[in-house]
Structure 1
């Protein structure tokens, strides 16, 4: 085994160095989300009686069980594990698949791996290095989760930390297999993400049908295994062995596959295109390149909207169990105020996720440029602005489509107030476009720093999702463009921030395209 693994630690150090900004951000988001949950839930449900009523309400509501899973214990630690466990495990899985694909298939697709393999690098060293980088990230997440919840009980905290980190490694191994099957890094991420999405849906369907996580569908889903570890609810340590076994089996399969193919090749080669070209314009090419991703995002937003819409009435029922919460919401405007607040929260989450879509779609231009595929196009009569415009139409227009589909999904399962829900969803677009405009500016003016746009989108997500739970000051929340949007649906509509953010998005986009015309390609 010495020869196939030659150079592993050098490649692992290189991977960690390349990800020195991305990995800490992911680790802090995933781990910090869970650790911060203690304070936020304690402030809302300070007494054991309040927490017991909450647990009973959650377990009685199938829609909320499908989203968060069942509550196995009404202690503060148990509620944190219920509220954040599923999402932390899912985010750890996303982080891990990005790491593994980035340092395996993406390296081969760009040709860098072939150069490295010409030296003293073993056949299985790149895959091992990628898995080691994922292991470091997931171990850091597990450590933060364990340390953050240790005050509520070390045993439960350790169980939750290992469950979240183990789920991340499970999907890292899944991504390692998929990276051997496909020639495209984008397709590898998409297929692994589809597996993760299917696992989430299976778990949601299983938890909706039972209150104790015993559904066959829940056990068929790897995302359902962390909740069945039952942190703070009588830990089932043997479920961690199930996760570890799945990681080892998948890793062994990935090692076998990587040893049976050449660098740059795959077991599922790309189909050859038609003998004669069918794409007459730059816009048609951009649509061809990005339609798969847009379709995936569209389906995801529609299905998630259907799930969230079914939770609206359940949120009102929960407040009905708490006299104190009932009085608070009556002062705010009664039952309608709660419904609007819940819908505003869901729509805001969709907006922040749409920010990730628009940044990724814009940065497809950066990928086309750095891979050398843009240069032959621009060597002819095609101008830079026309080439970029095709992708930007898909990015900014696609954001409109997926937000509209999210609204359709919410309305279809909620059954009321389509116009206010659609308006609230579309009101998120100026902030989404602002993130897209920033991505255009970074790519057009500073292409080497273009990936920093992911950091901006991640910061917006962190501030919008975790910021309120951490009681961050409004000045910090306003660092995100979403912090300036009106809370819709609601009684008041503020047009000024929408117009201002749209103007900023236009200015950033124009500035980025202006700089694109004045710099070298792939410099």
Structure 2
């Protein structure tokens, strides 16, 4: 009995079939780059360009001597909360201390790559555009391949620009400036690539972009938590096992400017290769538009909670509300735990004391730190506010709005149902953050009755500025719906002005364009209601204009 021998033509056919899976990758890559022509350069530059000019140069001016940096490092290593947020400082060199707080970028680039991958994969299938593209001469793997090229390429470009920014900073001429800069840049790129691969796998699991995005961001949050717990437990000792379970922990263990352990980058490479292979295998074995996690059948009849647009909005928005409230509450808890005794942590550096006082608007370091920290929480709440308001845009783009408005639901009532979460959701999240932060701070200071109201005031005073961004989103939705996502660009510009304005000495007229600049600096300064009322009036006008525009325009 002779063995069957494959005909040479069969091999050529199988090879052609495999190659055909990638047909059209170049065309889709050009399309995706055109769609990301604003967003992609924005996150690449924001996560790379400030590394040298902000982090290194500011540390060089505030902590010029090794003794100053040693005192700062000792205070960080003695604070579990700081270790959990940013990781340890591995030595007192200018580079190691300078990039310590930039360790947060290992998670931020993960958020950017996750959003990029889900947008061009699962979101395309959910809206039906993926099916239309697949009906042309486009291979099965073309969309995923083009997306990963963008995500991996964006992460690598971020790392390379970060390397150039660090190498061109005050590090020039110091030992290890090039090697340390390269180590940080590659660690940053590696973290972004790993989470892009995670998102590629998640995109194959569900039928909805929101759930896929939530799973991927949940993985990022879980790994950040594992890394934080591991570093807090380890202190100034060797990294614990929990740290090694997180890609952010791998990037920290590259230890830029503190040994430059390039071999650790092999973990990023292995993870990316394995996860990318899994994503392609999952894509091969599922139908277009389907997910590997089966959808649960809904109830035969809707419950009373869905009897109206507000019930539907609650169903759609509740998960996001809970997640953001938990996240901001945790941040408030951390701030409350570290603010008491902040003066001892800063040591003798008068420059950084003056910077915190200037940004916080109070001669009291603790009050200034509370004001500054809760302004940062306010910025995060503004991001949540934009996200909730953008649900109007996604519902209309998904053609769900047209179905709802054919019934006895007016446009204004439908828009108000989501606007309630865009305005009320941040209020709930800030209230929880203020309560947790105030209770922990008051307990540490031994005076809950005095500290809790101060922290609550610092939290809730952020709402007028937060609502400005929700109002801008609604105005764009009503007047120029195609450009509604530009609200993210407005927030990004405001954050850049807020973070860099006080440090770089930007002109006051530029800083005045940022809403958080005008808020009263409570609890350290006297409350002035005028700017609050002006911000509330601007928000009300923008929302009104947006709702009027939505009532008068055609649905997209």
Match of 1:254 among 279, 283, 292: 279
Aligned partner of 2:511 in structure 1 is 477
1:8/1:128 contact within 8 Å kept: yes
What is the CA-CA distance between 1:200 and the residue it aligns to?
1.1
Matches within 5 A, 1:13-52: 13-35=30-52, 36-52=54-70
Cα distance in 1, alignment partners of residues 476 and 224 from structure 2:
34
What is the CA-CA distance between 1:324 and the residue it aligns to?
4.0
Aligned partner of 1:72 in structure 2 is 90
Could you give the per-residue CA deviations for residues 413-458 of structure 1, whole angstroms, max 9, x where no partner exists? 3234111111111100000000000000000111011111111112
Aligned partner of 1:390 in structure 2 is 417
Cα distance in 2, alignment partners of residues 377 and 61 from structure 1:
52
Unaligned runs of 5+ in 2: 1-17, 172-176, 443-447
Distance 1:335 1:25, change over 3 A: closer
Matches within 5 A, 1:430-449: 430-449=464-483
What is the CA-CA distance between 1:100 and the residue it aligns to?
0.1
2:62/2:349 contact within 8 Å kept: no
Aligned partner of 1:189 in structure 2 is 213
Q: Does residue 399 in structure 1 map to residue 417 in structure 2?
A: no
Aligned partner of 1:161 in structure 2 is 185
2:339/2:441 contact within 8 Å kept: yes
Q: Secondary structure at the match of 2:502?
A: coil
Aligned partner of 1:457 in structure 2 is 491
Cα distance in 2, alignment partners of residues 171 and 469 from structure 1:
31
What is the CA-CA distance between 1:340 and the residue it aligns to?
0.8
Match of 2:141 among 121, 124, 140: 124
1:329/1:338 contact within 8 Å kept: no
Unaligned runs of 5+ in 1: none
Aligned partner of 2:321 in structure 1 is 294
Q: Does residue 489 in structure 1 map to residue 514 in structure 2?
A: no
What is the CA-CA distance between 1:139 and the residue it aligns to?
1.7
Cα distance in 2, alignment partners of residues 42 and 467 from structure 1:
18
Could you give the per-residue CA deviations for residues 283-310 of structure 1, whole angstroms, max 9, x where no partner exists? 1111111111111111111122212221
Matches within 5 A, 1:418-433: 418-433=452-467
More relative contact order, 1 or 2 (CA 8 Å, 6+ apart)? 1
Distance 1:423 1:324, change over 3 A: closer
2:390/2:484 contact within 8 Å kept: yes
Matches within 5 A, 1:200-219: 200-210=224-234, 211-212=236-237, 214-219=239-244
What is the CA-CA distance between 1:512 and the residue it aligns to?
0.2
Match of 2:196 among 172, 177, 199: 172
Cα distance in 2, alignment partners of residues 438 and 274 from structure 1:
37
**Higher gyration radius (CA):** 2
1:37/1:469 contact within 8 Å kept: no
1:54/1:318 contact within 8 Å kept: yes
Q: Does residue 498 in structure 1 map to residue 516 in structure 2?
A: no
Distance 1:46 1:326, change over 3 A: closer
Cα distance in 2, alignment partners of residues 370 and 505 from structure 1:
25
What is the CA-CA distance between 1:68 and the residue it aligns to?
1.6
Counting matched residue pairs gives 520
TM-score (norm 2): 0.90
What is the CA-CA distance between 1:326 and the residue it aligns to?
9.8
Q: Does residue 306 in structure 1 map to residue 333 in structure 2?
A: yes
